[in-house]
Structure 1
């Protein structure tokens, strides 16, 4: 007999045959319902062909075809911000999920969560999601904020959707870097004295130290200790409390208490300055609480005895510098200037002799190769040396 055939090929193939019966008058049409249970839930291309067997004299119009592309896709659009948490807190994350496919999603699918790659939590989302709609989901199981370290003072929260028929896997995952509250005070730099400081024997010296609060809490102040070691003997030790230090701030503390520069047989002998912080409960990194420097004492150099030379070296311009800087200097008579650039620990990075005529000059110095930080530069002329600090910002 006469049959109407529907063939579906592609992601979910199927064939339906419908027997034709009855009477259809000339120039009339009829609509036939072939099925109500077609399944287009798998992503892919569906080619649909409908045709009848040879029942008339014009077979060219007995076939029709159509093609559809269906995409089943839910995207994990966002992990909502969680703010700063404390170690040990229980956190219930919230996510936004969008139906970015071409058909509604009716089937349940899983959400998988882990923290730092472990502590997996799986929950099932049962909501239906129409095309283009967004669902906000709050996890009913919480994760515990893990311990942090100085190398990783945060945690990684990973969440992904897991739907078997999802057609686009690249938008199923999100990672969130979780902020954790912590305390960490550190010695950033010893500003005075430095490895290039030269004080005369028996001079009284104020120690200056920069303290940085890298933590998330403001500090009311911290106790700072100083030890002066001369040839293995502690010749001075004292402590003071700094001013309050806001989170992410740096303060310069100048000690009111001074130490006296020791005497040595010659100027090549050094003594050591050690500065350290009192341990703060909960401080994340105790290794950055201590800093030391070695410096020297002048025992036999007296400017008046050598004969005063009226010359100068100015602060570099600009300061801080970035790509280049200029150092003005002036000498009363022709001579050679010995220029040196060092790190704050005394490592020589650059050294050169500059023959100069009497008068004012400028040394143009390329700083592009220097990393951001604090450096010391000096000029020596006729046995006298001037040292200044240079800051590089990148």
Structure 2
């Protein structure tokens, strides 16, 4: 009996997360439409969908898919909640009055945006005490000037006419004097409601990169909470035993400015009850990056010809800042803009060599002779319609002498 009691208490502790909707569908209108400058939306979630009383401390929306940077002009949100007896909206002008709603959050959500396939978590400034008798209205006013590509959110088919969306490119709506909505629908955003924590989280599970894997500037460390853990309000990230980020809400950390070579990392989760034990310790190896990858050039290949050949010179001064002495190059990577998938230019043969040249003098006859180089790769690459680094494991590592240019 004592074992059963102990197990029962253990399972009963922790924050309660109520999920409304399955997030298997998608919507670009709820909670906001990033393709417009300003947004105001209201969504109704019924008591039968929630069925839990208490103080809602956090809410989450599912980030289904997006083009990188799509929330850059749509990240300032004011969130309101309220009880209501209505289960649907009667018309596009049948808004729940602002006087019946309570502001629970005001701020930027930009730092909390997760990668696609994860939940955007928003910690409310003021918890909302849900009575589990009424239905719940969630209203979001997005006030950042400007627009961008559409973000698609996890959505589901709820009751008839449970969502109203007002979006506009020129006028920031006055929530006390609203015009008609531009959309009334039953396809609304999947939602998670988080009620208070009663125990500290479990140690996070490290997801990516794999232990001892090579990484680059701009690549992210990623982790998750294990099944059965209490929720976390923030995470402390440690690299080489030093905290580099404190109480961040995102479950990823973008690497920047580290020296090349091996590093260790760990994560600690925290909530209002306490902190977890540290996660396992993993290592990664920071690779040398030359350039930012932000420009669009016809190098290293041209997609607009049947065949192409290129040569690029990388200066010893660009390389030496990240290494000491001669080093073996085992992998290279190029940044791919991902504007389209490419299957007709994906067979690459790569050569490397040392040279004292710093530039090419003309277009006609200034190639470095192939006899002065070594073939290091021959194979097919995946070039998807997704921006990112294309990593190439060399067939034969190239020993760079760190004296000449490459």
TM-score class, shorter-chain normalisation, is under 0.3
TM-score of the two chains, using structure 1 as the length reference? 0.28
Higher-strand-fraction structure: 1
TM-score of the two chains, using structure 2 as the length reference? 0.27
